[in-house]
């Protein structure tokens, strides 16, 4: 079966980061430092951001270069960052607050 545009771009990003593409449920890429959900279409930005909720690592929304400005506007005032398929971070992810330390 042929790869979709989504699959090709996620695999490209995963290779760039030295990670594996998770084709199943959940986010598309998980590394020790971050999680990435890739959305190739503007209509999927909101659902992509929702899918990143609950992860305790830095969270990124992966988008093609044509959607970077829309994704940055959509993630404004959130801790979700924006990354392109070539691994360039266009908006850094905010830090996730940890529990109180004793």
What are the pLDDT digits (tens) for 55-79?
999 999 999 999 999 999 999 999 9
97 part of a folded domain: no
99 part of a folded domain: no
15 part of a folded domain: yes
Closest Cα partner for 30 from 62, 65, 75, 64? 62
80 part of a folded domain: yes
- For residue 97, pLDDT beyond 80: no
Give me the mean pLDDT over the 73-91 stretch: 94
9 part of a folded domain: yes
65 part of a folded domain: yes
Query: Which pLDDT score is estimated for 99?
Result: 63
Please give the residue range of the domain that contains residue 42. 5-91
69 part of a folded domain: yes
| Entry pTM | 0.88
83 part of a folded domain: yes
**How far is 102 from 34, CA to CA, in rounded Å?**
26
Give the E-state strand segments of 1-102 in sequence order: 29-30, 34-38, 58-62, 80-83, 89-91
Give the count of domains, the chain: 1
């Amino acid at each position: 079966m042929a790869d979709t545009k989504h699959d090709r771009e996620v695999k490209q990003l995963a290779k760039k980061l030295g990670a594996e593409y998770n084709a199943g449920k959940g986010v598309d890429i998980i590394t020790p430092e971050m999680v990435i959900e890739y959305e190739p279409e503007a209509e999927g930005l909101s659902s992509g951001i929702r899918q990143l909720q609950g992860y305790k690592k830095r969270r990124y929304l992966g988008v093609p270069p044509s959607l970077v400005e829309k994704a940055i506007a959509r993630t404004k005032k959130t801790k979700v960052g924006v990354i392109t398929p070539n691994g360039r971070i266009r908006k850094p992810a905010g830090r996730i607050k940890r529990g109180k330390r004793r």
